Structure 1
Amino acid sequence: MNAAGADTDTVLRKRQLTVRTTSSNGGNGFRVGGGKGAAAATPPEPVSPSARLLEDFFIVVVIGIATPVNDPVARAGIAAQFARYPRFRSIQVTDEDGGNPRWVRTTLNLDDHIIYPELDMDAVAADPDKAVEDYVASLSTKPMDESRPLWEFHVLDFPTSEAAATTAIRVHHSLGDGMSLLTLLMACTRSAADPARLPAMPPLPTRAGAIYARPRPPASAGALAFAAWLWSFVALAWHTVVDVASFFATTMFLKDPHTLFKRVKHGEFQRKRIVHRGLSLDDVKLVKNAMNCTVNDVLVGITYSALSRYYYRKSGDTDTDEDIRLRTILLVNLRPTTSLHAYVDMINSGREDEVKWGNALGFIILPFFIGMHKDPLDYVRKAKKVVDRKKSSLEVVFTHLAAEVILKLFGLKAAAAIFHRMISHTTISFSNMIGPVEQVEFCGHPVVFIAPSGYGPPEALTVNFQSYINTMMVNLAVDEAQFPDCHELLDDFSESLRQIKDAALSL
């Protein structure tokens, strides 16, 4: 589909996500101006500071399913599962006096949220994969109706090379972060092997580093072990000071150099194309075990390698003696490692109102390096070194608290400007999440793949990794004009993993 015109782009950039309301009955009720249905009697919940900063950010999850869409079954499943959660039945409202916005329950009409788009069937027949990709890209140019809960199911009921049908779920980021949506997905799906039960949960991650609790060594360990334990806190304090200073410098003047990956047209909205490619999770784990590192270290190393391959091929730069240093915004979930399991248990037992929805994110400014290495494993070694250094810092906690304090002290406009400036001074956004470990059914439809991404950050490239069974999906959201050959960049991710895996086998 064609991108929206300039007028639509202007509306998209300037839209407001709060709905003006007038109070009645002494402030005990709300009448939603322009909305549908009356607000529920549930007391309004304030919109969190982090959610208010994400007013122009959207999450898009492309899901491939193994069968054609059964519309009655899908609607019944969405009504019974997805649409019953509080945030997905609420809108943001603000009193006439301009107070802080709040979440207020409203009447939900599924016809407003389940969309069967009208497409050019000749284009679909000629290249169904491109038709899906073009339609998902068009979503980045279309604002959502803020008088309704901000989520949509776009159903593309025709076969592609990957699936019998495709669904694109668009959710406003204020409803929740990646962990919230993963919790929702896990609670709404069922095991494909046994539809009567929830899918098997991902294993609990093993965290390490000074940012997490380190038990005091026993007296029998000796003075050297005790000194090392004390030194870890000194290193933690020093690294935190350095990272906080870097954070403030980035918001004021510290910019990444201009490269192929740096956004060219600042201040102008650009249509985002969202593409994905499946990588072997077994290959990633093979490298992880051979290098004695984490899956995240391997994914960062693969990204180093892929971006380097793309850069030197496209730029023609022959100076490979020194690395080019870029920076990425790495999103980090601040919830406990057990939160996914605990929240799914709450939902399964009918206590979904107790789940902490919304955004509980901090971020790390993570160095990325563009360079050529004869040994592909050097990319992983460098990634591990950088990530380990960042684990010995409280930067992620500071950035989360700083966002809330800045918003309270200076207001939304100032906080949003600072947040936008900081992201604009870096080059890439990066994240990865672990998904279901067995095949699942979503609203009665077997899921073939899950590819989450999004749009909104003022960057030309975002990289998201999502695992599903034995596949690690790499998802790219790119500035369409700046990366017309984004599928070549996906090829670079595949080739980088192949080379790194082959090198790891030699160990």
Structure 2
Amino acid sequence: MGSLGLKPIDTKTKIGSKMGVNTTNGHKNSTVVAIEPEQERQEHEPASPATRLFHTKSLNCYIIAILGCTTKINRDVIKKGLESTLVNHPRFRSLPVVDEKKGIRKWVKTRVNVEDHIICPDLDTDMDSPDEFLENYTSSLTTTPLDMTKPLWEVHILNVKTSEAEGVGILKLHHSIGDGISIISLILACTRKASDPEALPTIPSSTKKEKVDPGFLRRFCYYFWFLCMVFWYTVVDAVMFLATILFLKDTETPMKGGAGVGHTPKRLVHRTISLDDMKIVKNALNLTINDVVMGIAQAGFSRYLNRRYGYKNGKGSSKTNNLPNNIRLRGSVVFNIRPSTGIKALAEMMEKKSKAKWGNKVGYVLTRLPISLPDNPLDYIRQAKTIIDKKKLSLESRFSFAAAKLTQDIFGSQVAAKITSRVLSHTTVLISNVVGPQEEITFFGHKLSYAAPTTFGLPHAVTIHFQSYCNKMTISMAVDPQVIPDPYQLCDDLQDSLQMFKEAVTNQDVKGI
């Protein structure tokens, strides 16, 4: 496979100086053997604001990526592959520790024994329901914290045949290591094209339309109007963001989690839908995939809530309108705020002056998800596109990121984490969409059938991630089963919403929105 081009830790470095560092994250303190003081400049790196934020009690967040394979997983091959790739990355061979003397959290490089990070439980090959076992196993990972005395990641190998895979690999890591863009870029660096074992996967990139020069006057008017719109929408969104911190809450619906929902066990489920069907809708209406994603979310939530309210009122029907009036339901949408957007090659992310740096470079955008049952299903997408177009002109994501950093610099990580948690808890759902490989890939020689990443630890009862892979789109959810007792019904409503859109554009003469 080859390495990532990163130098491994110098195994000749003397280990043994205590330096008074410990791990503190709501777990029992344990002394970490650190590197000698003379190596501090090379082997220590100050923790970023996001790292400090994700190591607070309020935002102790994890990422789980479920990778389904078309063959049984060879543990020895995976171990060898990880030794030559993943552990060469600084974040995967470091500990986030606190210097007791200075009170500063740092990344401290340490020796990594990959054997300690691979978990391969003995399984009953004759189990009654492999799919149910996989769901129970992955959900149990949300109840057990990572061992804070070693780098914050682990790989679980389950050679169990499910309806979608012959074997399943699960990567669990702490969110302080990096955001979705960083992790997907790293995983892609560990893969190869299934059609060419020596070639890296094709990295998706956004295509830009050629612009015709409209002349100086028109160009001046356009940019003046553009700046006015950016200023206006940013001010409006900033005011709404501040209002959300202070008092503005979503309606208490059957999807809204209560106090402490960020610390409850989560149920992890996923559903694979057709990316080609999404492209049919996108092309017919001259949209983007993000527009279709938000339209699916809006329609799916409306159908799900209508059914839940129907059962609550004893009607038991999803066909009639059971929705209360004026439901306020918002999604905290994760936005990449790097100057260079999209998935990037790992080598590019690790360059010192890169515009696509590794880490947690994301901001939150609070997006309305109007809940209704319109006669024309395409109204969901029209509403979603209108909202997204306005958000594209706003700097809300950068405002939220800068506000969190400024608060942290002034008042400390604990206060910043509580404010961020308060904002998120006043919304209903977290939504993320990450583009994936455009062709089939292999992970250390194991062909992938699907990828289902998600997060847990944030104050939402529902977290939804859309992950594309080849001609598929996987909807991966982490839900609180006390709030969402029927997560597969929510999956059905999301899937049926796409089918509803496809039928609408197929049967109607639709030429864009």
Asked whether the two chains share a fold, i.e. TM above 0.5, the reply is yes
Q: Which one of 272, 288, 295 corresponds to residue 294 of structure 1?
A: 288
**1:426 maps to what in 2?**
427
Separation of aligned partners in 2, 1:403 and 1:294: 30
Task: State yes or no: 1:499 paired with 2:476.
Answer: no
Moved more, 277-286 or 230-239: 230-239
- In structure 2, relative to structure 1, the CA distance for the partners of 1:338 and 1:430 (3 Å cut) is closer
CA drift of 1:93 comes to 1.8
Tell me, what secondary structure is at the counterpart of 1:182?
A: helix
The AA in structure 2 aligned to 1:290 is A
Q: Which one of 77, 80, 102 corresponds to residue 76 of structure 1?
A: 80
Give the conservation status (yes or no) of the 8 Å contact 1:332–1:363.
yes
- In structure 2, relative to structure 1, the CA distance for the partners of 1:253 and 1:216 (3 Å cut) is farther
**1:456 maps to what in 2?**
457
Separation of aligned partners in 1, 2:446 and 2:107: 31
CA drift of 1:383 comes to 0.3
**2:5 maps to what in 1?**
none
Map 1:120-139 onto structure 2 (within 5 A): 121=124, 125-139=127-141
Q: Which one of 302, 314, 327 corresponds to residue 308 of structure 1?
A: 302
Separation of aligned partners in 2, 1:239 and 1:17: 46
Task: State yes or no: 1:235 paired with 2:229.
Answer: yes
The AA in structure 2 aligned to 1:229 is Y
CA drift of 1:324 comes to 2.2
Listed one character per residue, the Cα deviations across residues 426-482 of structure 1 (whole Å, up to 9, x for unaligned) are 111001010000111101111111111010111100111000000011111100222
Give the conservation status (yes or no) of the 8 Å contact 1:61–1:169.
yes
- In structure 2, relative to structure 1, the CA distance for the partners of 1:474 and 1:352 (3 Å cut) is farther
Separation of aligned partners in 1, 2:369 and 2:213: 34
Listed one character per residue, the Cα deviations across residues 96-152 of structure 1 (whole Å, up to 9, x for unaligned) are 124221111100011211001345x38x61000010010000001001111111011
Separation of aligned partners in 1, 2:97 and 2:212: 46
CA drift of 1:386 comes to 0.5
Moved more, 299-308 or 41-50: 41-50
Separation of aligned partners in 2, 1:207 and 1:456: 40
Task: State yes or no: 1:275 paired with 2:279.
Answer: no
Task: State yes or no: 1:48 paired with 2:48.
Answer: yes
**1:57 maps to what in 2?**
61
- In structure 2, relative to structure 1, the CA distance for the partners of 1:430 and 1:439 (3 Å cut) is same
The AA in structure 2 aligned to 1:76 is K
Listed one character per residue, the Cα deviations across residues 28-65 of structure 1 (whole Å, up to 9, x for unaligned) are 357xxxxxxxxxx7341111112221221001000001
The AA in structure 2 aligned to 1:343 is L
CA drift of 1:352 comes to 10
Separation of aligned partners in 2, 1:478 and 1:459: 8
CA drift of 1:415 comes to 0.9
The AA in structure 2 aligned to 1:48 is S
CA drift of 1:14 comes to 6.1
Listed one character per residue, the Cα deviations across residues 280-316 of structure 1 (whole Å, up to 9, x for unaligned) are 1011011111111110010000011111111111111
Listed one character per residue, the Cα deviations across residues 326-381 of structure 1 (whole Å, up to 9, x for unaligned) are 1111111112346634535677xxx7998832111111111111110111111110
- In structure 2, relative to structure 1, the CA distance for the partners of 1:232 and 1:368 (3 Å cut) is same
Task: State yes or no: 1:218 paired with 2:215.
Answer: yes
- In structure 2, relative to structure 1, the CA distance for the partners of 1:127 and 1:312 (3 Å cut) is same
Separation of aligned partners in 1, 2:381 and 2:52: 36
Separation of aligned partners in 1, 2:32 and 2:115: 24
Q: Which one of 105, 109, 120 corresponds to residue 109 of structure 2?
A: 105
Give the conservation status (yes or no) of the 8 Å contact 1:251–1:421.
yes
Q: Which one of 311, 326, 338 corresponds to residue 335 of structure 1?
A: 338
Separation of aligned partners in 1, 2:380 and 2:128: 40
Separation of aligned partners in 2, 1:433 and 1:261: 23
Map 1:181-196 onto structure 2 (within 5 A): 181-196=183-198
Map 1:461-476 onto structure 2 (within 5 A): 461-476=462-477
The AA in structure 2 aligned to 1:414 is V
**1:161 maps to what in 2?**
163
Using structure 1 for the length normalisation, give the TM-score: 0.87
Separation of aligned partners in 1, 2:262 and 2:495: 32
Tell me, what secondary structure is at the counterpart of 1:147?
A: coil
- In structure 2, relative to structure 1, the CA distance for the partners of 1:69 and 1:240 (3 Å cut) is same
**1:326 maps to what in 2?**
329
Separation of aligned partners in 2, 1:274 and 1:263: 16
Give the conservation status (yes or no) of the 8 Å contact 1:192–1:446.
yes
**2:11 maps to what in 1?**
none
Separation of aligned partners in 2, 1:339 and 1:426: 26
Tell me, what secondary structure is at the counterpart of 1:231?
A: helix
Using structure 2 for the length normalisation, give the TM-score: 0.86
The AA in structure 1 aligned to 2:424 is I
Separation of aligned partners in 1, 2:377 and 2:29: 49
Tell me, what secondary structure is at the counterpart of 2:343?
A: helix
Give the conservation status (yes or no) of the 8 Å contact 1:334–1:360.
yes
- In structure 2, relative to structure 1, the CA distance for the partners of 1:105 and 1:22 (3 Å cut) is closer
**2:38 maps to what in 1?**
28
Give the conservation status (yes or no) of the 8 Å contact 1:19–1:94.
no
Tell me, what secondary structure is at the counterpart of 2:149?
A: coil
Separation of aligned partners in 2, 1:290 and 1:149: 47
Separation of aligned partners in 2, 1:268 and 1:467: 26
Map 1:477-496 onto structure 2 (within 5 A): 477-496=478-497
Separation of aligned partners in 2, 1:18 and 1:332: 34
Separation of aligned partners in 1, 2:458 and 2:209: 28
Separation of aligned partners in 1, 2:212 and 2:423: 35
Give the conservation status (yes or no) of the 8 Å contact 2:256–2:483.
no
- In structure 2, relative to structure 1, the CA distance for the partners of 1:359 and 1:431 (3 Å cut) is same
The AA in structure 2 aligned to 1:457 is L
Tell me, what secondary structure is at the counterpart of 1:140?
A: helix
- In structure 2, relative to structure 1, the CA distance for the partners of 1:414 and 1:474 (3 Å cut) is same
**1:33 maps to what in 2?**
none
**2:26 maps to what in 1?**
15
Task: State yes or no: 1:244 paired with 2:238.
Answer: yes
Tell me, what secondary structure is at the counterpart of 1:112?
A: helix
Separation of aligned partners in 2, 1:207 and 1:147: 50
Separation of aligned partners in 2, 1:22 and 1:491: 50
Separation of aligned partners in 2, 1:22 and 1:75: 24
- In structure 2, relative to structure 1, the CA distance for the partners of 1:458 and 1:233 (3 Å cut) is same
**1:140 maps to what in 2?**
142
Separation of aligned partners in 2, 1:464 and 1:230: 36
Give the conservation status (yes or no) of the 8 Å contact 2:201–2:437.
yes
The RMSD of aligned alpha carbons is 2.6
Give the conservation status (yes or no) of the 8 Å contact 1:429–1:463.
yes
Number of equivalent positions: 471
